[in-house]
Every structure is written in structure tokens, then in C-alpha cells.
Homo-oligomer: A and B are copies of this chain.
């Protein structure tokens, strides 16, 4: 709940279906946008297959580097849902059926339908808090700085809403976008580089987009200090205006 200058996160997307091209990932962009808006900087994302050793290695690499690690995918009832066991292995903790999770499942599943496969969704690493959601019965969980969410976008989003109020957040990122119109990147790159060099505490990016028969570039200024972001954006607008007149 603190307000550090910067709170960082990584996202680990778990699932063969993303790497095989079957399913377009929707969680990276959603998480990136959501975390940015609440003041958490997403610094890295990875996609790994449903292979225990790959998940364990990625969880350990990422949880040690960032304030939070979010995972999506692999917490359903089928044999390919191995995220909870992999996270427990990565953290070196036991895992077993959690009575709190069984209770949540029973709110939506009849006792006679709570078979062995569905009970697997109640396997939770010891010491974890549960993460609920309004859409499905099975919970995610939160242990240390690792937050394990569903892969189905609507359920992942509901779980993120559940944990968001409990996350520590940093200063929000201030973003200003300057339209560069049809001025090509190569025409303003040198002048933009000078502005970027003069403000190392800001992140300034130039993003080309191509339409049929033309392009339309945008320059994005990002930083935590509103005054500095505004000053850099103003400098960029003045620079673009000067170059546009010069090329007219």
C-alpha cells in the first residue's frame, strides 16, 4: 500500500496454446495497460509452455528480479494445468488441497460433482492467500510476491480486480503522446534524440504506423514527473513544427 517511486512487475504467461499459435494472447496487453494505470511498471513478460521445469525456472528468474510476478494460465482441472504445483516447487513449499478453496468450489459445484479432477483446482501452496473472482469457482492465489491468475481473459481480469486494491503501487506514469503526422522518423530522429538525451529520466519513444499508401508517426513521452513530461512534449511539438515548416 506504500507509494514508492517505482513498483515493478513481470508477467509470466503459461500455455502451449499461445506458443503454438492456437490462441492469441490477450493478457499481456491487458496487464500492461492495467498495471501502468495503477502505478506499477511492467518490466518484462515471458511466455512458456506447459512444462514444469520451464515454469519453475521462469518463476524463480522473475520473482527475484521484480516486486511482483503475475502468472496467467494453467490452474484448471485438466492434466495440463500444472501451474500451482510448479509455483510450489519454485518456492520450495508444500502443496495440498486447501479447505478454503474446497469451500469456494462448493459454492458453484454440487458436492456429488466435486470429483478428483475438480478437487485439483483446490490444490494451493501452503502459506498462500486465495484470489477470488466473480466468474468462476476456482480461485487463484498469492504467495510471497507471486500472484497466480487464470488464463481465460475474463477470469484473469476479475481476479486482477480482486488483488489490485492490495498491491503496493508507485507514482503513476504520466504519458503524453505527440502526433508527428506524416513527417518521417528519419527527418526528426536527430532532433528527437537531442531532446531525449537532455531528459534521461524520461522515456521517449517514436512509433511508426503504416497505413495504405502512407504512414503516421507518434512520439510518446513517459515519466513520473508531470512538469518534465509536459516540458519535453512541448519541446517535441516545437521541434516538429519547425521541421514541418522547413520541409514545406
Is A203 interfacial (CB 8 A cutoff)?
yes
Interface residues on A, range: 35 or more
A8-34 interface code vs B (CB 8 A; 1 in, 0 out): 000000011111111111001100111
A45 and B47 within 8 A (CB): yes
Residues of chain B with a CB closer than 8 A to A115's CB: 186-187, 189-190
Tell me what chain A mostly uses at the interface: helix, strand, loop, or mixed.
mixed
Is A67 interfacial (CB 8 A cutoff)?
no
Q: Report how many copies the assembly holds.
A: 2
**A209 CA to B17 CA, complexed, in Å:** 13
Q: A192-B79, A193-B79 are in contact. Are A173 and B20 (CB under 8 A)?
A: yes
Chain A residues 44 to 71 lying within 8 A of chain B, measured CB to CB, are 44-50, 54
Q: A76-B185, A117-B189 are in contact. Are A19 and B45 (CB under 8 A)?
A: yes
Q: A50-B205, A113-B186, A192-B79 are in contact. Are A42 and B16 (CB under 8 A)?
A: no
